[in-house]
Amino acid sequence: METRVLIGLTVLIGALFSFGIAGCSENSGTAQVELGTGPAGVPGSRFTDPDVEIDLSADIIQWEVLDGEFIEVWAYNRQYPGPEIRVKEGQKIRINLTNNLPEATTIHWHGLEIPNDQDGVPGFTQPAVPPGGIWTYEFVAPKPGTSMYHTHSNTVRQLSKGMFGAFIIDPSEPQTEYAREYTLLLHEISGFYTVNGHSFPKTLENSLLELASGDKILVRMINAGQEHHPMHLHGHQFRVVQLDGNPMPAPLTVNTQDIAPGQTVDVEIDGSNPGTWVFHCHILPHVTNKGQYPGGMLLALDYTDHTSYFDEQAAAQSVSPNPLATTEATRSPSTDPVAQGQAVFTGSGTCAACHTIEGVSGAAGTVGPNLTHIGTVAASRKESISAEEYIRESIRSPSAFVVAGFNAVMPSLSAALTTEELDNLVEFLLSRK
Ligand code: HEC
Ligand SMILES: [Cu+2]
């Protein structure tokens, strides 16, 4: 299931990127373009020839914040954070919002100087977009810098649930060259402190900051949450070159920089001290997962041309990208199929993350139905098939077996299970009368 999320992300970024590139030749280079006078929200009413067109949907999804730990997230394009929007100064941008949430929503373009009727504040600049509704935003990308987009409806709830993403405007003429650029979106959700949608140690999978000795890199930090995050880097000073997308006339040299809610901070880091250096929020409760240290907002700056203790440890571990594969190691040595099925069920990252079975330790997930009496319940779900077939099919093709009252659809996991594992799981579940 992890792979599916990643593939979705890559396809989307690819799509955005090609739009961005395609639009470059059209770039007028100036933010002062006369817009049409048609009604706001209607595609083509303000300009008919956007350089960049992006579709954003708003959905409720289950997100894997840590391996095997799923939380409910309200997300743009089923990603938490939403896709990074990256355009050039002066480009004409059209964004089509589709609201699949159970309540009204809008999008606000945080920090951008755009026409008032595109600002996305319901009741002030536009009507709220109802469930099932669509709305189109059109504006010219103003001055370059790091900013974000986020919901502006029922904001306390919707922003806390994850409805935000980075909005980066590049200068029409390239300026400083960086070896690499990173964007870090900071947020708090359901007891987790996240960077780009994950908490430590999962942050190291997607947000490891890599550089080589002598490189200069840019790190853009965006605080989409409701708490301050003083981000501290070991072994280096860094330069604060932009605040809220505005260049600093005299960059500050520091090693800890607070980022307030709503603020964006760009820092330059020089590759001057090889190693693997931690980079973390210095409010230490923010370096926990549901109160457990270490977790949360903990990252590392890792030199590619240097082998540290961290690199040796990572090489020594064969990290499996398939969370179900870890059940091999934790499986009970017993040959009893029910016991083996239970081991697969409670293996890290599997069924137990979403389902509860009373009396089975570690199975307390609430995303999907309680399966304590599934052997009996299954018989009453679909009369045309046996309980065994019902259980087998709900694992094999979950989307065909939607249970009323659950927002989430169970991910299709059968491809990650061996035939034997599937058989054992069925035995185990049938044994729960
Ligand atoms: C990401 C969360 C998630 C994971 C992981 C997950 N499920 Fe589910 N499961 C659900 C949800 C949600 C439903 C409700 C059905 C639906 O609407 O798709 C469900 C439904 C079911 C049902 C039918 C229950 C009923 O009351 O009819 C069975 C059986 C089941 N899951 C077994 C499993 C097994 C076995 C695994 C591990 C291989 C697993 N699930 C992993 C979320 C999950
Ligand atoms: Cu913090």
Distance 278 CA to ligand 1 centre (A): 38
The answer as to CATH 3.40.640.10 being correct for domain 180-315 is no
Residue in the block written with tokens 């894997």: 64
Query: Same topology for domains 21-170 and 180-315, yes or no?
Result: yes
DSSP 8-state class, residue 33:
-
Radius of gyration of the chain (CA): 24
Which one, of 76, 82, 83, lies nearest residue 59 by Cα?
76
Return the structure tokens found at 202.
């999962």
In angstroms, what is the span from residue 404 Cα to ligand 1's centroid?
Answer: 12
Q: Using 50, 70 and 90 to split pLDDT, how confident is the model at 2?
A: very low
pLDDT of residue 403: 74
Assess whether the previous peptide bond of 323 is cis (omega < 30° from 0).
no
Its pTM stands at 0.63
Higher pLDDT, 93 or 332: 93
Ligand 2 centroid to Cα of residue 56, in Å, is 29
Residue bearing the bigger pLDDT, 407 or 82: 82
Distance 106 CA to ligand 2 centre (A): 27
- How many Å from the N-terminal Cα to the C-terminal Cα in the chain? 29
The pLDDT value recorded for residue 295 is: 97
What single letter denotes the amino acid at residue 19? F
Residue 63 C-alpha to ligand 1 middle, in angstroms?
15
**Residue 89 and residue 372: Cα distance in Å, rounded?**
57
CB within 8 Å of 53: residues ≥ 6 apart: 19, 93, 94, 95, 96
Pick from 111, 138, 150: nearest CA to 52? 138
Q: Percentage of residues in the chain with pLDDT exceeding 90?
A: 58
Residue 362 in this model has a pLDDT that exceeds 90:
no
SS3 309: helix
Strands 276-281 vs 298-303: parallel, antiparallel or unpaired: antiparallel
**Residue-wise DSSP of 387-431:** HHHHHHHHHH-GGG-PPTT-SSPPP--GGGS-HHHHHHHHHHHHT
Question: In this structure, which ligand is nearest to the CA of 388?
Answer: 1
Q: What is the pLDDT of residues 104-151, one digit of tens each?
A: 999 999 999 999 999 999 999 999 999 999 999 999 999 999 999 999
Q: What's the whole-number average pLDDT of the chain? A: 84
The ligand whose atoms approach the alpha carbon of 379 most closely is: 1
The residue-averaged pLDDT of 252-258 equals 98
Atom of ligand 1 nearest to the CA of 345: 37
239 vs 247: CA distance, rounded Å:
12
Q: Which residue has the higher pLDDT, 74 or 172?
A: 74
- In which region does residue 44 sit, left (phi positive, over 0), alpha (psi from -120 to 50) or beta (all else)? left
User: How many angstroms does the Cα of residue 190 sit away from the middle of ligand 2?
Assistant: 15
- Confidence grade of residue 432 (pLDDT, cut at 50, 70, 90): confident
Closest among 215, 197, 217, 216 to 207, alpha carbons compared? 197
Helices (H) and strands (E) in the chain — how many of each? 9, 19
Q: Is the pLDDT of residue 315 over 50?
A: yes
Task: Give SS3 for 55.
Answer: strand
Residue with the nearest Cα to atom 32 of ligand 1? 395
Q: Specify the 3-state DSSP secondary structure of 250.
A: strand
| Residue 398 in this model has a pLDDT that exceeds 80 | no
pLDDT of residue 233: 98
* Per-residue pLDDT at 266: 98
Residue 294 vs residues 200, 278, 286, 299, 387: alpha-carbon distances, Å? 7, 12, 9, 11, 43
Cross-strand partners of 184: 221
Mapped onto helix, strand or coil, the DSSP state of residue 286 is helix
How far, CA to CA in Å, does 72 sit from each of 63, 82, 88, 342, 417?
Answer: 6, 14, 33, 25, 25
Tokens 């099932």 belong to residue: 132
Q: What's the rounded mean pLDDT across residues 280-304?
A: 96
pLDDT in tens, 58-98: 999 999 999 999 999 999 999 999 999 999 999 999 999 99
Query: What pLDDT, on the 0 to 100 scale, is given for residue 225?
Result: 97
Mean pLDDT of 27-53: 69
DSSP, res 271:
-
Cα 330 to middle of ligand 1, angstroms: 21
What letter represents residue 128's amino acid?
A
| Residue 173 confidence class, pLDDT cut points 50, 70, 90 | confident
H or E, element range at 225? none
Which range has the top average pLDDT, 49-58, 272-281, 318-327? 272-281
pLDDT reported for residue 359? 82
The pLDDT value recorded for residue 412 is 67
> What residues have a C-beta under 5 A from ligand 2, the ion?
229, 281, 283, 286
Structure tokens at 216: 């200069």
**Phi, psi for residue 163 in degrees, rounded to 5:** -90, 80
Q: So where are the chain's domains?
A: 21-170, 180-315, 328-430
Please list every protein residue whose CB sits less than 6 Å from any atom of ligand 1: 62, 70, 350-351, 353-355, 367-369, 371, 374, 377, 381, 391, 394-395, 398, 401-403, 406, 408-411, 413, 425, 429
Candidate of 340, 351, 389, 396 to mutate for ligand 1, largest count of ligand atoms within 8 Å of Cβ: 351
Of all atoms in ligand 1, which is nearest to the CA of residue 378? Answer: 27
Spelled out in words, what is the top-level CATH class assigned to the domain 21-170?
mainly beta
Element (H, E) at 18: helix 2-24
Give the least confident one: 22-31, 77-86, 245-254, 370-379.
22-31
